[in-house]
Structure 1
Amino acid sequence: METRARTLVKALVWNAIGLITMGLVGLILTGSAAVGGAMAVVNTAVGLTMYVIYERVWTRIDWGRWHG
């Protein structure tokens, strides 16, 4: 089982990578750092929230775990 702290750190690192990537994609597609940055921040906030919820739900599911 994972601790909440580990789940949160994993989520933060993953979302930092996503923030940078989405910011660059937004900049390239819109030509605007402000619009690209706003898209990246919204995407990261939603993604971080959903990832933490997703990980915490899966920690409660025993299916596919090896207990031995």
Structure 2
Amino acid sequence: MDIILKNVKKKDYPVLKSLAKSLGFEIVEKPEKPYNPEFVKEILEAQQSIKDGKGVRMTMDELKELCK
């Protein structure tokens, strides 16, 4: 059985880790991967351009036609 702990506070992590070790559990850590900085920059620029009024409004029919 697998147990996944999310949103563990840094102060609680060592306690949980030592408890798991004492009970003989295998501990597998997966480091969080940050977003690609270029992707974040692109998203922030797009949000700013929309705020500046440079966006394009489309109806649902126009959007459906574009996706064909």
TM-score (norm 2): 0.27
Greater RCO (Cα-Cα under 8 Å, separation 6 or more): 1
Greater fraction helix: 1
Larger Rg: 1 or 2?
A: 2
